[in-house]
Amino acid sequence: MPLNLPDDDSAPYYILGIDAKGVKGAQLAAGASLAVTSADPNTVVVTPDASPAVEPTSGLQSLASGTVSSPASPAAPNTAIAINAAVTNADGTAGISVSDTVTVTPGAAAALGEVFGAAVPVPVVAPPASRK
């Protein structure tokens, strides 16, 4: 499922195996490995866990888990960045793969800074009423 991630934030990821019957929780074949990579590590950084964690919603052991994060100044904000998960079989051949996207969305302004050197907002004063 595509993810929208605020800049300078992170989110966990979990990859579950699914067997030929559609049952979740399948593990990799002996000697196979799984790599998760970002197509643009200057916008979305993938940090794998040292050991795959249990996916908290299902309680199933994941094939891979970790964190996707974005820097405070992403290289390509508002652009869908592909995150790829690819299996390498024990004999070195490519196995199954899947990809999804993360879009880093810069946050909206939460405060305003100085305007022309004014440290505090300058009040707007209505002009005096004209006399007749």
**Inside any domain, residue 122:** no
Of 87, 67, 83, the closest CA to residue 26 belongs to: 87
- What predicted TM-score, i.e. pTM, was given to this entire model? 0.77
| Strand spans (E) along the chain | 3-6, 10-15, 17-18, 24-26, 33-38, 45-48, 64-69, 80-88, 94-105
27-69 confidence digits (pLDDT tens):
999 999 999 999 999 999 999 999 999 999 999 999 999 999 9
| Cross-strand pairs, 81 | 102
131 compared with 30, residue with greater pLDDT:
30
79-120 confidence digits (pLDDT tens):
999 999 999 999 999 999 999 999 999 875 555 555 555 555
Domain span at residue 87 reads: 3-105
Helices assigned H by DSSP within 1-132: none
Distance CA 113, CA 32 (A): 53
**Inside any domain, residue 118:** no
CATH classification of the domain holding 77: 2.60.40
Distance CA 81, CA 33 (A): 23
**Inside any domain, residue 66:** yes
**Inside any domain, residue 132:** no
129 — pLDDT class (breaks 50, 70, 90): low
**Inside any domain, residue 100:** yes
Distance CA 54, CA 74 (A): 30
Residue 126: predicted pLDDT: 54
Residue 88: predicted pLDDT: 97
Q: What is the domain count for the chain?
A: 1
**Inside any domain, residue 75:** yes
**Inside any domain, residue 116:** no
**Inside any domain, residue 73:** yes
